Amino acid sequence: QVQLVESGGGLVQAGGSLRLSCAASGRTFSSYHMGWFRQAPGKERKFVAAISRSGSSTYYADSVKGRFTISRDNAKNTVYLQMNSLKPEDTAVYYCVADPTHRLSVGLNWYEYDYWGQGTQVTVSS
């Protein structure tokens, strides 16, 4: 079982920045692909970013490319999402996800991740 705990959400003005963190339990964090999804009220959950086990490969939704950066520290069992140039449309609950399987490819779809955090709210005011 993997437990994921997000932190770092909050209220920020458009153009501002936030850094989300996700701490994972367990001793095999470095074997998980990790990612972030978000869900706005009344909308479906959407892929934001993902990172491979070693951190050598990263993937982003087109809507956040160039503004968000995903990274990980395997020594600290933590994955991060640095969010810059935030826009009101980035407002959502952000979820940290983990893929504990041994698949080679990094998942871009919600059903490829077995473990989800409780979510952290990000609100961007205009």
What value does the mean pLDDT take over residues 72-86?
A: 97
Q: Is the pLDDT of residue 1 over 90?
A: no
What tens digit of pLDDT does each residue of 40-55 get?
999 999 999 999 999 9
**pLDDT of the residue at 27:** 78
Q: Is the pLDDT of residue 16 over 90?
A: yes
Q: How far is CA 105 from the centre of its chain?
A: 17
3-state SS of the chain is: CCCEEEECCEEEECCCCEEEEEEECCCCHHHCEEEEEEECCCCCCEEEEEECCCCCCEEECCCCCCCEEEEEECCCCEEEEEECCCCHHHCEEEEEEEECCCCCCCCCCHHHCCEECCCEEEEEEC
**pLDDT of the residue at 20:** 98
